[in-house]
A and B are shown apart, each in its own frame.
Chain A
Amino acid sequence: MRSAKMLTITGVLAASAMTLAACAAAEPTAVEPEGPVDLRMTVWTANEDHLALFDSIAEAYMAENENVTSITFDPLPFEDYTTTITTQIAGGNAPDLAWVLENAALDFVGSGALLDLAPTFEEAEGFDYDDLTDSATGLWRDGEGLYAYPFSTSPMAIFSNTTLLAEAGVPSASEQVAAGDWNWEEVAANGAAVKAATGKAGFIVRDFEYQQWDLLSTVWNGWGAQPWNDERTECTMDSDEMVDAFEFLHEAAFETGAMPGPGTTADFFAGEVAYTVTQISRAALLGEAGFEWELHPLPAGPAGEYSVFGQAGIGVIADSPNAQAAADFLAFFTNPENSRQLAQYFPPPRASLLTGETLAQTNPLLSAEQLDAVVVDGIATGVTRPTIEGSAEIQQAVRAQLDALWTPDADIPAVLTSVCDAMQPLIQG
């Protein structure tokens, strides 16, 4: 009898707690606070120089706005960044501001999770809203609204290890450009020669690791291939252009050895690779490189020259109790003066700052000519990395199918057909 009573009490307690917790989860509140404001921004950089710059801008803002008592930059691991943010929001611990990856842009913008920043930016003193370029902000707009500030618009480029290329007896990247041979075919041929002569890797797409397949857009755009149509309603991974692009990559990985195969690690910044495709912002890693290096735009493919850039936005979580205060801080954080400071690490979306000369002032490792060729032209003519709603599920479904392609005797057209079979049901039609 007593046990039954205890069980009943325990059950009632559990049910009450459950109901309370469920209500709390189901009905988030959005009350503008009257007292002091503490802001938190999630970021995926843990670089001390980056964080020190952020802190200095935040301190300057707090000095002018006494109601904001603290601004915290909360670094989260890049690999699980979007998952962690989503979990924080689900757990009622959402940040006030968050960096948003481009591959999650449509999910965040389309869901209404982010505050429309356009009214705040238009009214902010000295912000110069019209200075933001259309090509850089396109991904983050919905109608007239702007739902994140694309603080980093970083073109994908090729860094080459001149020392390693010379060791293998092949032309440097500059010599290739001068000879009109700056294309993927020559890069792969030189990469294979480096592998044969030195045992080191020819070329890599940094962070691809045979998992992040969307990074291969830095290659397949050279073949004129796209993973889906412009409306994002139909998979085009099985197109002839895509088959040709993957045949090129497969040959490099399994026949010529120009690209390290699956499960093999090689780091360009440690001098182990001749060419790497990566974002220009990685140049900071070359400060103490023990080899000669160059920076060039992506090589031409059979479809001609092209450019791809990666983006990251800063958004304000709409349900944050400090949403307006966060938007005000973001307007200050990204105003022309602070954007000029941030430009040393993150190419800004501002037309006034997108010149090789301006960027060179804050990028001591890169020349104005390099920055003009890679950044300014890249952003003006390039496309963003592929992005689509439901990107996490599509990313996983495609990755699972593509695994069959990374074997020596893969049937590439058949694998890409299976990719579309897996992707198509997940694409909005």
Chain B
Amino acid sequence: MTLTAVRALPSRAPARPGGAPRRRPHRHRRQDALVGYLFIAPQALGIVAFVLVPLGLIAYYSAHEWNVLAGTFRFVGTENFERLFTDPQLGGVLQATTIFSIALVIANLTLALVLALLLNRRMRGVGFFRTVFFSPVVVSLVAWTIVWGFLLQADGGINGMLATIGIEGPNWLREGPTAMASVVIVQVFKNVGLNMVLFLAALQGVPHELFEAARVDGARPSTIFWRITFPMISPTILLTVIITIVGSLQVFAQIAVLTQGGPGTSTTVLVYYLFQQAFQFGKFGYGSVLAILLFLIVLVLTIVQWMLRRKWVFHEN
């Protein structure tokens, strides 16, 4: 067995007897800084290469018309941005994106919280159920979606099960409302386990004394939840709301595999529309503008949530 001695770092420089704190020599401070930079270098390079450069390129491409096949690259100024206001499909795309995101966030967080509350107890088999609900998170997204695609076909497994009890199921992926609902449900079941685990961790961090005190005072379970549990896990709720909203705006594979944006354009969300414009129709300039639009939507939503946290997140007000 190997023991590693770790020297505790002082929280501040020790005071010199009878004088000002001793400053480290300039050479040592430069060495420390260099080590620090080396530590962050891989992450910084990754951000530069895979975030900042693509962001810059997107801005650059958005002002150009790039015909890949013809090999032409022409500056068009704000033409691609102006198209945002005349694109007859964009309104429907944003509507589908909004419906998907709202439905996903509500369904995912509600189910995750309910599961976390149910599984935050000492009972037989709790570990098994936690594993069952978390396991879809580690399954390949495309494989998961393809299997659901088979289940949701008109003659698929779900309608087969419904038929055994005398119910004629709808054509899930070919009718507007059920297609959107199907995509949401497939995504909820895929990722609800992650939020469930986050909620579980938060629930287990709430001091038991608070619950005991509330019970002694005669508080009802619903009062305990809304007055103690909910406020105490509100930082985690904020986190899950942000990552779920951001994730919902990035949904692509489920749409591509299950509905290809249809029927009609009822499930054509912004990322899928961006993909169509840029990669299927070869309109990389307009596709870049849509990417900027998506970036701004995510940015604004995140900033708004961050600002609102003071209103409802415990420890922040």
Contacts and interface: CB of A to CB of B under 8 A. Distances in A.
Given A210-B174, A392-B282, A113 B56 contact: no
A83 B272 CA distance: 14
Given A28-B71, A262-B174, A263-B154, A396 B276 contact: yes
A56 interface: no
Interface in B260-298: 260-265, 276, 279-282, 284
Interface stretch (A8-16, A123-131, A243-251, A305-313): A8-16
B73 interface: yes
A336 B171 CA distance: 51
Nearest to A426: B281
A403 B56 contact: no
Interface in A258-272: 261-265
B312 interface: no
Nearest to B156: A263
Contacts of B299: none
Contact of A264 (B56, B57, B155, B260): B155
Contact of A261 (B56, B154, B156, B276): B154
Given A400-B264, A403-B263, A83 B279 contact: yes
Given A392-B281, A400-B262, A400-B264, A406 B70 contact: no
Nearest to A318: B71
B69 A403 contact: no
B53 A17 contact: yes
B44 interface: yes
A14 B48 CA distance: 6
Interface string A378-416: 000000000000101100100111011011000000000
Interface size class of A (residues with CB under 8 A): 35 or more
A417 to B, nearest CB: 15
Nearest to B59: A18
Nearest to B279: A83
B114 interface: no
A90 B284 contact: yes
A241 interface: no
B44 A10 contact: yes
B262 A403 contact: yes
B62 to A, nearest CB: 12
Interface string B163-199: 0000000011111000000000000000000000000
Contacts of B67: 111
Given A14-B56, A86-B69, A108-B69, A400 B174 contact: no
Interface string B47-77: 0110011001100100000111111010000
B53 A262 contact: no
Contacts of B262: 399-400, 403
Task: Classify the secondary structure of B's interface with A.
Answer: loop
A266 B171 CA distance: 16
A211 B281 contact: no
Contacts of B48: 10, 13-14, 17
B224 to A, nearest CB: 46
A396 B262 CA distance: 10
Interface in B93-141: none
A262 B154 contact: yes
B70 A264 contact: no
A4 interface: no
A285 B284 CA distance: 39
B104 to A, nearest CB: 23
A78 to B, nearest CB: 15
Contacts of A404: 263-264
A1 interface: no
Nearest to A107: B69
Nearest to A90: B68
Contacts of B49: 17
Given A10-B48, A263-B153, A86 B53 contact: no
Contact of B173 (A107, A263, A319): A263
A364 interface: no
Given A264-B155, A265-B153, A399-B262, A111 B70 contact: yes
Contacts of B173: 263
A28 to B, nearest CB: 6
Given A83-B280, A111-B67, A400-B261, 8 more contacts: A17-B53, A25-B73, A26-B73, A90-B68, A107-B69, A210-B174, A264-B153, A399-B260
Interface of A: 2, 10, 13-15, 17-18, 21-22, 25-26, 28, 83, 86-87, 89-90, 107-108, 111-113, 210-211, 261-265, 319, 390, 392-393, 396, 399-401, 403-404, 406-407
29 contacts: A10-B44, A15-B56, A17-B48, A17-B49, A17-B53, A18-B60, A21-B53, A22-B60, A86-B69, A86-B279, A90-B68, A108-B69, A112-B69, A112-B70, A113-B70, A210-B174, A211-B260, A263-B172, A264-B154, A265-B153, A265-B155, A392-B281, A396-B276, A396-B281, A399-B262, A400-B261, A400-B264, A403-B262, A404-B263
